[in-house]
Amino acid sequence: MAPSEFAKRVRLAAAGRGSAAAQTMLGLWHLKGLEGLELDEVKAAGFFQTAAERGHAEAQLRLAACYGSGRGLEQSNALAVEWMRKAADQGNNAAQYAMGSWHALGEGVKKDLPLGKRYLELSAAQGYEDAVVLLKELRKCVTGSPDHW
């Protein structure tokens, strides 16, 4: 299957030091084999890496996921956490949720409930429903009540 016309335009926008958003989009399409692009996890991770290094939060989130799962590059929890933190610190609510849950539950990082709570509250403040739910569950565990921490 040949790339769609839209994919061709996005490729032009992404070329060289082009649009980081376009590079991220190409990464997503290669990760899923969409828009007539071949499913290629290595290419996907490469596009995410390029855009992430330029500070694109969504690309940082996607690159962290690639490192965490080993899709398209060598698996590394340390690099997954590093890139997820960068995305979270830029305000990406999905990354804030990931960092919050990892720290609150001690998954892949040292358990740090206050830091986990801080990231989860940032994510919940942006309306990320999973963060709201997890905060309530953690409150129940810590205090016995979902309303008080």
- Which is nearest to 35 in space by CA: 9, 55, 14? 9
| All domains in the chain, ordered by first residue | 1-79 (1.25.40.10), 91-149 (no CATH)
Provide the pLDDT for residue 97.
98
| Pairwise CA distance, residues 86 & 135, whole Å | 22
Provide the pLDDT for residue 144.
67
Provide the pLDDT for residue 83.
98
Please, what are the averages of pLDDT over each run of 10 residues along the chain (149 residues)?
89 89 97 96 98 98 98 97 98 98 94 96 97 94 65
Alpha helices (H) in the chain, listed in sequence order: 5-14, 20-32, 41-53, 57-69, 77-89, 93-105, 113-125, 129-143
Provide the pLDDT for residue 1.
73
